[in-house]
Amino acid sequence: MQFSSGFLLSLSLCLDIGVANIAMITLAMQRGYLQGFWLGLGTCFGDLVYAILALVGMTVLLQYSWVRWGLWVGGSVLLVYFTVKMLVSAWRHDSSLQTGGAAQAASGLKEFARGIFLAMSSPSAILWFAAVGGTLISRSGGGGLLGAGQFLAGFFCAGVAWCVAICTAASQGGKLLGARLLRYAYLASAGIFAWFAVYVIGSGYQEFILGQGPAMAGR
């Protein structure tokens, strides 16, 4: 189902503990749920813009076999790298959240705009969409306009659900469980990346080595 594919793919991006997620968690811990949620909602719209661009642009580029080969190899390597990176981060866990000190008051609109900026300027997000997400999005959204709409709806809903969950956890229990919360997120992220690594490697093997075509064709 296109909606569930978009939902799961978006989670793999959300669970990459980068600048945007750290900012959202810290803001919710310092100034409450709503401030963190507004920033998180902004990141959802920023990611959605990238998803739409990937859906439109990658569909054209994937007509060339050398592009598909390059994205398969590069995407597989990066997914394995991200899996290892998240496992190492969970093991070492030297990240810290600063919860003390007064923060400047900011409107929800300002935090929303800040979230869009953080999402669209995040190096890990740009790399993810360029080498991993673009390929998966174009394949999943290849079932026509309706399929693309369902996929993007699932993609966006996963981002919003992640914002609600992480801001609730940070605002209510983050001050006590902040360090453990990040460790659990790292481990969940590693699991999601590992699942997509297996999928990308397997689908590419079927298409390029066995000559059976894209694994998601016909879905």
**pLDDT per residue over 19-54, tens digit each?**
677 778 777 877 778 888 999 999 999 888 888 877
Q: Which has the closest alpha carbon to 75: 121, 12, 17?
A: 12
> Which H or E run contains 212?
none
Greater confidence (209 vs 161) lies with 161
Contacts of 144 (CB under 8 A, 6+ apart): none
**pLDDT per residue over 74-113, tens digit each?**
778 877 887 888 788 778 765 444 444 434 445 788 889 8
Q: What is the pTM of this model?
A: 0.63
Q: Is 206 helix (H, G, I), strand (E, B) or coil?
A: helix
174-189 average pLDDT score: 65
Domain ranges of the chain: 2-93+121-209
